[in-house]
Structure 1
Amino acid sequence: MKKLMKKNEQSNTLNRRARRHYFAGALTMLTMTLCTVPAMAAGSDPLTIVNSLSDFIFNIIKAIGVIILGWGVVQVGMSIQSHDASQRTQGFLCLFGGLMIAFAKEILTTIGAV
């Protein structure tokens, strides 16, 4: 009798595992089916997408250049206050570097590279 009960318990646990795996797979497939999202393209012309990405990257570069430009102004102001020539040189280098980074797109357009 005990052997028969052990056999039934083993088959019940196998049935439970099989049901769990089946329902887990079915739930995964249902979730994948319901969570599909259609791809919405921004436009039919791929050149406009590339141009907008280029503008976005240049805007990020311009923001970084403005931050460096501001830091250069602060360094020049602090060097004038403390009469430190090396800090003043670093401040002017940072200021001019920030200007070049901030206006990189305009400089490249003027040169004809972009």
Structure 2
Amino acid sequence: MKLKIKRKRLLALYIMLVLTGTVFVSTAYAEGDPMTTVNNLSTFIFGLIRAIGMIILGFGIVQIGLSLKSHDPSQRANGFLTLAGGIIITFTKEILTLIAG
């Protein structure tokens, strides 16, 4: 019985600490120009896309090399398609910049 009371008191204390932490916390405002934050996020996302594109590009090169070794034309075609896709994904930011002007 005493164990249940201790658990209830600990739960009540925990709830009070959580509510105190959420109610009395000051609001954090963004400092500076909001466009800087958006540009930093854009740069980060395009960096991730470029990394994925480079991985696909490398996989396409490996696939083409394996197809040349095994003389498999369908694997060679898939390798060239993967290579082209990797190039497009790698240079997505530059392509969008050219399209948007």
Q: Normalising by structure 1, what TM-score?
A: 0.68
Code of the aligned partner of 1:105:
K
Q: 1:22 and 1:109, CA in 2 relative to 1: closer, same or farther beyond 3 A?
A: same
Q: Which moved more, 1:20-29 or 1:98-107?
A: 20-29
Structure with bigger RCO (C-alpha 8 Å, 6+ apart): 2
Is 1:25 the equivalent of 2:7? no
- Stretches of structure 2 that go unaligned for 5 or more consecutive residues are none
Whether 1:106 aligns to 2:86 is no
Partner-residue secondary structure (3-state), 2:65: helix
1:34–1:94 distance in 2 versus 1, CA, 3 Å: same
Q: Please give the alpha-carbon distance, in whole angstroms, between the structure 1 residues aligned to 2:15 and 2:64.
A: 62
- Stretches of structure 1 that go unaligned for 5 or more consecutive residues are 1-12
The number of equivalent residue pairs is 99
User: Which amino acid in structure 2 is aligned with residue 25 of structure 1?
Assistant: A
Higher mean C-alpha displacement, 40-49 vs 56-65: 40-49
Moved more, 55-64 or 34-43: 34-43
CA distance in 1, matches of 2:14, 2:78: 63
Equivalent residues in 2 for 1:1-114, closer than 5 Å: 17=5, 21=8, 24-30=11-17, 33=20, 43-112=31-100
Distance 1:80 1:107, change over 3 A: same
The CA deviation string for residues 53-109 of structure 1, in whole angstroms up to 9 with x for no partner, is: 111111111111111000000010011111111111110110011000001001111
Decide whether the 8 Å contact of 1:68 with 1:98 is kept in 2. Answer: yes
Alpha-carbon distance between aligned partners in 2 of 1:73 and 1:95, rounded to the nearest angstrom: 6
